[in-house]
Amino acid sequence: MNKNDLIESIAQSAQISKIAAERGLNGLLATLSTAMKEGKRVTLVGFGSFSVVDRAPRMGRNPKTGETVPIPSRRVVKFRPGKDLSGKVQ
């Protein structure tokens, strides 16, 4: 499912226009991004939680040449599904 499919699904299930659904989705995504940039954890009860974690620097390997390459530290988004979501997927 891509973003347009999601917007169409939201519009149908909420019985609103696609434009209103797109505005709502874009607002949600902007709010999530802003919160995570600030280092906050975002928890959606029943769905899951998003958090930002720091990955330590490490050594990797170039698969083509076999050469050892340093991989710098960086911040990444981590998602942990909630019980309801996990139960529906299994």
Say what the pLDDT of residue 40 is: 93
Mean pLDDT of 60-87: 93
Q: What tens digit of pLDDT does each residue of 14-32 get?
A: 999 999 999 999 999 999 9
Q: What does 12-56 look like in DSSP terms, one character per residue?
A: HHHT--HHHHHHHHHHHHHHHHHHHHTT--EEETTTEEEEEEEEP
Say what the pLDDT of residue 13 is: 95
Both structure tokens of 50:
């998003």
Print the SS3 string covering 44-60.
ECCCEEEEEEEECCEEE
* pTM confidence score: 0.76
CATH number at residue 50: 4.10.520.10
Q: What tens digit of pLDDT does each residue of 19-65 get?
A: 999 999 999 999 999 999 999 999 999 899 999 999 999 999 999 99
Q: Domain total for the chain?
A: 1
Domain hosting residue 45, numbered range: 3-89
